[in-house]
Structure 1
Amino acid sequence: MSASGYGQFCPVAMASEVLATRWTILILRELLCGSRRFNELRRGLPRISPALLSKRLGELEELGLINRRIDVRSGSPGYELTEAGEELRPVIMSLGRWGHRWLESQLSLRNLDPSLLMWDMRRNLNPAPLPSRRITVQFLYHDVTRGQAKWWLIVDKADVENPVDLCMLDPGNEVDLYVVTDLRTMTAIWMGIETVQSALASGRLDLVGAPELQTTMQAWLGLSPFADEPKRVPAGG
């Protein structure tokens, strides 16, 4: 902790000096969500610079919240939470639940990012309702710049280690379902602000392809872990 900290012995102040630095909470969020490699962390935090991410990871390692491990097969480094880091799970999840419950939804929907949305959908997708064969779903955002308008989610239950993959380039597979919408609508569905059915009814979402994938989309689509949290309005809001 820096000498320019709060200068208080209170555990809340001391913990804040560790956790309140820019990006630290979000790096811990990514690790708690299963990211282990540097590039995985970058995909979940697309706006952090590589230099700052390296610095924060070094600080977290020095504080004893993470360990750095070298993969014996690839030779590349990976990161894992220590007992102290894992103990922050309920703290960070509670912070997310509070933000979802009390903060104005429209504020969240100003911060639209297709790469972050698709990465979150990829790691939260539930393969259980999907057929056993390989499934390819293409997302087309008609309001996004060309380079980020098309995405492919590939689900293969036979691949135990990596059942869900995300591609920005056409993988060449036959597409089972096309999802055509705007980024704001898809983000609202992911956040639990609205549903697949309500977006279809309003004409802001169009599904083309296998009927069984269309009818089960709400069940298999990777939603925010806070999507089921009821929204509340602060007094006087």
Structure 2
Amino acid sequence: MESASYGQFCPVSMAAEILCSRWTILVVRELLCGTTRFNDLRRGVPRMSPSLLSKRLKELEQAGVVRAAPGPSGVVEYRLTPSGEDLRPIVMALGGWGHRWVESQVSLKNLDPSLLMWDMRRWLNPAPLPPGRRTIHFLYPELPESRRNWWLVVDETGDVDLCNADPGFEVDLMVTGPLRSMTAVWMGLAKMQQEVSAGRIALDGDARLARSMQTWLGLSPFAPGDRRVA
């Protein structure tokens, strides 16, 4: 059986032994974004099996990157140690490199509505929204029925909830279009107004929400970065 060690004293190889196993850096990404509970971590890495997620968390805990302990409600929470927090500029630099140098056509092959919506929930900026509860319904017509409809619900305090089943609230804005177009907007590869003008995305409902969507949508933290490839 092949050894997991590179057998080198170089700090790069030592760090790679901890961080470069499959999915590990994405688990760290989720923890850096503030996710602490196992089920929420799963939503950030929806294609990762629960057993592998448990294994990676245990490995990170053994490496001193993560600390697991019961939270106030008694549910186990995973939090980064100072060692883990030290990875923030590294992960951000890695994401910045990917945004700058990976071709958009390659990126947009990896479409996943659950991950896109989870990221949009996480980064949505409620400040520009009118006061009161706001419900935005996203419809991706080309997807199977079970993955076609998503709702972002912003409550009176600014907390954002993501629903894959109709929450039963009056919809303030309906967003209809291909998952590819919405992903391109989120990643900063396209502007919302461009997609609307081209007829790829339709916005129906509150005109104020529609006009300000590019502002409150809260794009990917890498979206403002310069791109060197198309």
TM surpasses 0.5: yes
2:221 to 197, 200, 225: 225
The CA deviation at 1:72 is 3.3
Is 2:109 the counterpart of 1:110?
Answer: yes
CA–CA distance in structure 2, aligned partners of residues 158 and 86 of structure 1: 28
Q: 2:150: which partner in 1? A: 151
SS of the counterpart of 2:151?
strand
Alpha carbons 1:138, 1:150 under 8 Å: kept: yes
- Give me the TM-score of the superposition, normalised by structure 2: 0.97
Q: 1:48: which partner in 2? A: 48
Alpha carbons 1:120, 1:222 under 8 Å: kept: no
CA–CA distance in structure 1, aligned partners of residues 157 and 184 of structure 2: 31
Alpha carbons 1:127, 1:157 under 8 Å: kept: no
Q: 2:162: which partner in 1? A: 166
Deviations 1:159-203 (A, max 9, x none): 5xxx10000111110000000001000000000000110001100
Q: 1:138: which partner in 2? A: 137
Give the superposed CA RMSD: 1.2
Is 2:71 the counterpart of 1:71?
Answer: yes
The percent of aligned pairs where both chains have the same amino acid is: 58
The CA deviation at 1:4 is 3.5
Q: 1:94: which partner in 2? A: 93
Q: 1:179: which partner in 2? A: 175
Moved more, 101-110 or 4-13: 4-13
Q: 1:37: which partner in 2? A: 37
Structure 1 residue ranges, 4+ long, deviating more than 2 angstroms after superposition: none
SS of the counterpart of 1:26?
helix
CA–CA distance in structure 2, aligned partners of residues 111 and 11 of structure 1: 32
The CA deviation at 1:222 is 2.7
CA–CA distance in structure 1, aligned partners of residues 173 and 61 of structure 2: 43
The CA deviation at 1:70 is 0.4
- Give me the TM-score of the superposition, normalised by structure 1: 0.94
Name the aligned partner's letter for residue 36 of structure 2: R
Describe how 1:19-30 pairs up with structure 2 within 5 A: 19-30=19-30
Alpha carbons 2:141, 2:176 under 8 Å: kept: yes
Q: How many residues align?
A: 229
Name the aligned partner's letter for residue 61 of structure 1: E
The CA deviation at 1:6 is 1.0
The CA deviation at 1:157 is 3.8
The CA deviation at 1:76 is 1.3
Name the aligned partner's letter for residue 69 of structure 2: R
The CA deviation at 1:3 is 4.5
CA–CA distance in structure 2, aligned partners of residues 213 and 171 of structure 1: 19
Deviations 1:119-146 (A, max 9, x none): 0000000001001111000001011111
SS of the counterpart of 1:59?
helix
Q: 2:211: which partner in 1? A: 215
Name the aligned partner's letter for residue 29 of structure 2: R
